[in-house]
Amino acid sequence: MTAFTRLAALPRAPVLWRQSRRLRRDTPRLPDAALPWSGSRPGPDPVRLVVVGDSTAAGVGADTQDDALPGWFAVEIERRFARGTQYAAFGRNGATARDVVESHLGAATAQPFDLALLTIGANDALGLRSRTSFARDVAAIVARMREASPDATVLVSLLPRFDRFELLPQPLRSTLGAHAMSLDAAARAAVERLDGVIAIPPPPPYVDGFFATDRFHPSRDGYRMWAEYVFDYADTVGFTLGDAPS
């Protein structure tokens, strides 16, 4: 993909600013998933899972983390590997990759884990952050996670397809879409060849039921679809957690 530069957005800046302001004003603000952000799914040889990132790590759009990424990852782990899960989520609504580095990575890596999901980038795209800075921070996050638990697998699932968000007016939709895919490509290229890392491609087209009532964050079903997509892709590159002991 050709790199999208922020200079390309300058001629549209006044329109983009007005559309962004209107969007923030009119879009319902959904709460985070209810506390606690840690939990478990029964089963043998539990997988220690951490989810790190922004509003999608915070479970915005779902009632609890059982209905968001940690819970649906646990369902997939049970279905595919016949193992239980102990999970914890870290991050906050509105976080950028730099925020994760500075404020959430320490807590996320304080205890050993077997599997991690990094979900970050939407707010970097919304802030028109540079490819270089975003890729550098994603690489730093992944390196810290690999250092903390060298035997773990880190799944990296980054930018949404803003160009498919019907909520967004044009030209904001196409501008954010292009920048998001540019950030995504740069960050995945920075980490995808590292040992123990699986960089997940951008998501397939969104279907009815994917979005929550704000038409921006995933719904309970959206998080389920996301988890299935991540594991389906990981299967294609030979990812395994091993079989539970008999």
Cβ-Cβ contacts under 8 Å for 100 (sequence gap 6 or more): 52, 53, 54, 91, 118, 120, 137, 141
Rg (C-alpha) for the chain, rounded Å, is 17
Q: Can you list the positions of beta strands (E) in 112-234?
A: 115-119, 153-156, 197-199
pLDDT of residue 246: 39
Sequential pLDDT tens for the chain (246 residues): 445 555 555 556 667 768 778 877 888 899 999 999 999 999 999 999 999 999 999 999 999 999 999 999 999 999 999 999 999 999 999 999 999 999 999 999 999 999 999 999 999 998 889 999 999 999 999 999 999 999 999 999 999 999 999 999 998 999 999 999 999 999 999 999 999 999 999 999 999 999 999 999 999 999 999 999 999 999 999 999 864 443
What's the DSSP call for residue 211? B
Residues in the chain: 246
What DSSP character marks residue 67? Answer: G
The pLDDT of residue 170 is: 92
CA distance 149 to 35: 26
User: Which one-letter amino acid corresponds to residue 133?
Assistant: S
- The token pair at 31 is 């709460």
d(CA 31, CA 139): 29
Nearest to 228 by CA among 95, 18, 71: 71
